[in-house]
Chain A
Amino acid sequence: MFNDKWLLYSLSCFFWWGIFGFLSKLGATRLSPEQMQVLFTFGTLPPVLAAWFHGGAKVDRDLTGMVYGGLMGLLGGLGEVAYFRALEVGNASLVGPVTSLFPALTVVLAVVFLKERTNWRQGIGILLALVSIFILSL
């Protein structure tokens, strides 16, 4: 079954991110979102640096690319603070699925600003995302 290494690594990603969601809930009940984000940043650094070294430790220095990457970290970090705040007051089994709807907005923004086209599956996915948010907000 696991002859394909990519499948093993994808399942590993599924596993680690699933554990991350659970630990986030455990942490959010003990610490403030700001405290969680500081610790989360320090915890993320070693494996990300290890992955970078493993991949040859190269850094591209295209200024625009650097700005995009920096903004990703900045907005991503603020998003994580909001995520930890949501977990402070809500169930992990609800916050996890709702926050994982973020690709719906990415697709919409990519259509509006990057003139990308969506396929029919993505269209249905966006519709389902909106309906699920409505249902879960009841």
Chain B
Amino acid sequence: MFGWIFYSLIAAFLWGIVGVLQKLGANRISEASLLVWLMAGLALILPWLLMTAELNTADTSGVIIGLLGGVTNGLGVWSLLAAFKNGAKASLAVPLTALNPLFTILLAILILGEKLTTLQWLGVTMALLSGVLIASETKST
């Protein structure tokens, strides 16, 4: 059984490749169009997921939370697109939104009672700072 860090790094690895594809795709089609084709790609794995997910065993509260998770993610995407449409500079908006795990941490500590050790706090702080620095793409090309 692999631990949380293994699966987290798998997710980060796949999303890292998605970031490159976004750069490549945005050179050919608009961001909004890219989003539509992204949803089409997301739908491609639905048959496999539906075969393995056994949705009938899911409890109602879980279903509502899962759907709301999708809605909040979609609203985040919409907000980011709206920010760019209203003149946001990527060098400011992207680092700001990259700090979103801060809000998750706050909620997880306050509501779920999660606790971090001093060493983990150090790692989390470095990870968040790293996200902000990496997102500063002002003169990268």
Chain B: minimal CB distance from A136 (Å): 4
Chain A residues lying within 8 Å of B6, measured Cβ to Cβ, are 86
Q: How far is the CA of A116 from the CA of B19 in the complex (A)?
A: 13
**Is the Cβ of B97 less than 8 Å from the Cβ of A14?**
yes
Q: How far is the CA of A105 from the CA of B10 in the complex (A)?
A: 11
How many residues on the A side are at the interface (Cβ–Cβ under 8 A)? 116
| Closest residue on chain A to residue B13 by CB atoms | A105
| Closest residue on chain B to residue A39 by CB atoms | B66
**Is the Cβ of A128 less than 8 Å from the Cβ of B129?**
yes
**Is the Cβ of B66 less than 8 Å from the Cβ of A76?**
no
Contact partner, A91, options B30, B39, B103, B114, Cβ 8 Å: B114
**Is the Cβ of B20 less than 8 Å from the Cβ of A43?**
no
Chain B residues lying within 8 Å of A50, measured Cβ to Cβ, are 78
Chain B: minimal CB distance from A108 (Å): 8
Q: A70-B41, A76-B38 are in contact. Are A93 and B65 (CB under 8 A)?
A: no
Chain B residues lying within 8 Å of A131, measured Cβ to Cβ, are 126
**Is the Cβ of A89 less than 8 Å from the Cβ of B127?**
no
Say whether chain A's binding surface is mostly helix, strand, loop, or mixed.
Answer: helix
Say whether chain B's binding surface is mostly helix, strand, loop, or mixed.
Answer: helix
**Is the Cβ of A70 less than 8 Å from the Cβ of B116?**
no
**Is the Cβ of B122 less than 8 Å from the Cβ of A135?**
yes
Contact partner, A73, options B44, B82, B120, B136, Cβ 8 Å: B44
**Is the Cβ of B130 less than 8 Å from the Cβ of A59?**
no
Q: How far is the CA of A20 from the CA of B73 in the complex (A)?
A: 6
| Closest residue on chain A to residue B88 by CB atoms | A6
Chain A: minimal CB distance from B67 (Å): 4
**Is the Cβ of B41 less than 8 Å from the Cβ of A73?**
yes
**Is the Cβ of A83 less than 8 Å from the Cβ of B7?**
yes
**Is the Cβ of A38 less than 8 Å from the Cβ of B49?**
yes
**Is the Cβ of A93 less than 8 Å from the Cβ of B21?**
no
Contact partner, B45, options A9, A19, A74, A126, Cβ 8 Å: A74
**Is the Cβ of B109 less than 8 Å from the Cβ of A14?**
no
Q: A91-B108, A116-B140 are in contact. Are A73 and B8 (CB under 8 A)?
A: no
